[in-house]
Structure 1
Amino acid sequence: MNAYLFEFIGTAMLILLGNGVVANVLLKETKGSDDGWVGITLAWGIAVFTGVFIAADVSGAHLNPAVTLGLAAAGKFSYNLVAGYMLAQILGAMAGTTLVWLAYKKQYDATTDKAALLATFATGPAIRSPFWNFITEMIGTFALVFGVMYIAGGTLGDQPVKLGSLDALPVALLVIGIGLSLGGPTGYAINPARDLGPRIMHALLPLKGKGGSDWGYALIPILGPFVGGLLAAFAFLAIGY
């Protein structure tokens, strides 16, 4: 139970700080509109650092269904725990993005740009091309999961791969690198829970003039990361450790 709880809390903190910076940049009447892409990317790195540091020593701080699935496929995490971790991650993402909405309630009320409103919840492509958007998300998540496996001790023989609190900084730096290098085409979801949980809340919350939640795109930031996570696991096993 504690592991599931800390996956929930860690993911909620991740999304609170991550989507919080997007809201600060994109919504009307905020003081952060000049931060831009670099500011968003750096803040997401801080969000990852915080979430991982909080959850690491209890749950291993996956905070991402693609990481959970990749570790299970590599034999480094029990399949019996996968469903519970994924549910906790999605619920945490829903909670975190709801806190963003509460913190920026007046700014949400002042914003009429439907695309900007959705972007503070979920990701979207710069150029809509489902196949290539999928490839981008797959590659970005491959880089994340493959890196995490080694950061978390994947070279230590039969020892399990588990993030500790000391791993929070290198994982955060990895996410910053992915955002700056690979984030432009799709907004680098690289995490099914990060996109799905907030997208659900975009559909449910009483946002003024919000428009649709773009469910036609929603499978891309789910399937791309899952495939990327599995490919990272296979590469990790093929290379040896």
Structure 2
Amino acid sequence: MNGFIGEFFGTLILILLGAGTCAGVNLRKTYGTGSNWAYISIAWGLAVTMGVYVGGALGSDGHLNPAVTIGFAVFGFFPWGDVVPYLLGQFLGAFVGAALVIIQFYPHFKASPDEASGNIVGIFATRPAISSPLFNFFSEVIATWGFTFILLNLGDFTQGLKPFIVGTLITVVGMALGTTTGFALNPARDWGPRLAHTVLPIPNKGSSEWGYAWVPMCGPIVGGVLAAGLQVLVA
């Protein structure tokens, strides 16, 4: 139960701060409208840092990410018996975090009448800069592989200053590899908020783009499993 609680609140914080940044950048009439990619990458890095601290303090390993949980479990770095509670916490936490962002920015969604004004599903979920499904998939595999492989070599990343190291890792992955697909790296980070965008009453919302959603689900999981497999081979 501690694993579920830690992952739920850690992922909630991750999405509240991360998707909140995207809302502030994209929607009209916020003080952050139009900020650049570096701003977004740094903010997502800090969002992960704070989520890992919360998750670790509440009794989980601070994965906040099904690609990490599944990849670790496949190669024995994490017990299979804890996988389902972790995944439930991650997806539910992401959904609730997105719901809080909708409440926070509700007047700004109303002030942003269409995609041209920044009211896009990309506030909550990822979408590719160039739609090329196979290469979008490869982008997510490569980015998540690099992220997870480095993570595996950090040891217990919930302790001391290590969550900040994880945050800087997210930031550099976002700056280096995230400009192609928005660097989901994390199926819960994408599908939980995408579902919130689909079912909750957001003013002026457009398509939730579920036709693309297989990429941020499958790509990160494959990348996480490949990273854990490599770790077994070389460690």
Shared fold by TM > 0.5? yes
Runs of 4+ in 1 over 3 A off after TM superposition: none
SS, match of residue 151 in structure 1: coil
Question: Cα offset for 1:73?
Answer: 1.7
Question: Does 2:224 align with 1:229?
Answer: yes
Q: Percent identity?
A: 43
2:123 is matched by which residue type in structure 1?
T
Report what 1:52 is aligned to. 52
Report what 1:120 is aligned to. 123
Retained in 2: the 8 A contact 1:111–1:117? no
SS, match of residue 59 in structure 1: coil
Unmatched runs of 5 consecutive residues or more in structure 2: none
Retained in 1: the 8 A contact 2:70–2:224? yes
Report what 1:22 is aligned to. 22
Report what 2:189 is aligned to. 194
Retained in 1: the 8 A contact 2:119–2:204? no
Question: Cα offset for 1:98?
Answer: 0.7
Q: In structure 2, which of residues 132, 136, 147 is the aligned counterpart of residue 144 of structure 1?
A: 147
2:120 is matched by which residue type in structure 1?
L
User: 1:116 and 1:237 mapped to 2: Cα distance?
Assistant: 44
Task: Note the alpha carbon deviations across 1:91-150, whole angstroms, 9 max, x for none.
Answer: 000011111111111001111223632111110000001100000000010011111111
Question: Does 2:219 align with 1:218?
Answer: no
Q: How does 1:157-168 map to 2 (within 5 A)?
A: 163-168=158-163
Retained in 2: the 8 A contact 1:56–1:165? no
Question: Does 2:172 align with 1:177?
Answer: yes
Question: Cα offset for 1:190?
Answer: 0.4
CA gap of 1:65–1:11, structure 2 versus 1, over 3 A, is same
Question: Cα offset for 1:209?
Answer: 2.6
2:176 is matched by which residue type in structure 1?
S
Retained in 2: the 8 A contact 1:60–1:164? no
Retained in 2: the 8 A contact 1:93–1:197? yes
Retained in 1: the 8 A contact 2:109–2:204? no
User: 2:3 and 2:144 mapped to 1: Cα distance?
Assistant: 23
Question: Does 2:5 align with 1:5?
Answer: yes
User: 2:83 and 2:216 mapped to 1: Cα distance?
Assistant: 19
Question: Cα offset for 1:53?
Answer: 1.0
User: 1:211 and 1:44 mapped to 2: Cα distance?
Assistant: 24
User: 2:94 and 2:47 mapped to 1: Cα distance?
Assistant: 12
Question: Cα offset for 1:84?
Answer: 1.4
Question: Cα offset for 1:165?
Answer: 4.5
SS, match of residue 90 in structure 2: helix
Q: How does 1:69-108 map to 2 (within 5 A)?
A: 69-108=70-109
Retained in 2: the 8 A contact 1:54–1:165? no
Question: Does 2:69 align with 1:68?
Answer: yes
Retained in 1: the 8 A contact 2:7–2:64? yes
SS, match of residue 135 in structure 2: helix
Q: Give the aligned length.
A: 232
SS, match of residue 112 in structure 1: coil
User: 1:68 and 1:227 mapped to 2: Cα distance?
Assistant: 12
Of the structure 1 ranges 6-15 and 49-58, higher mean CA displacement relative to structure 2 is found in: 49-58
Name the TM-score, length of structure 2 as normaliser: 0.95
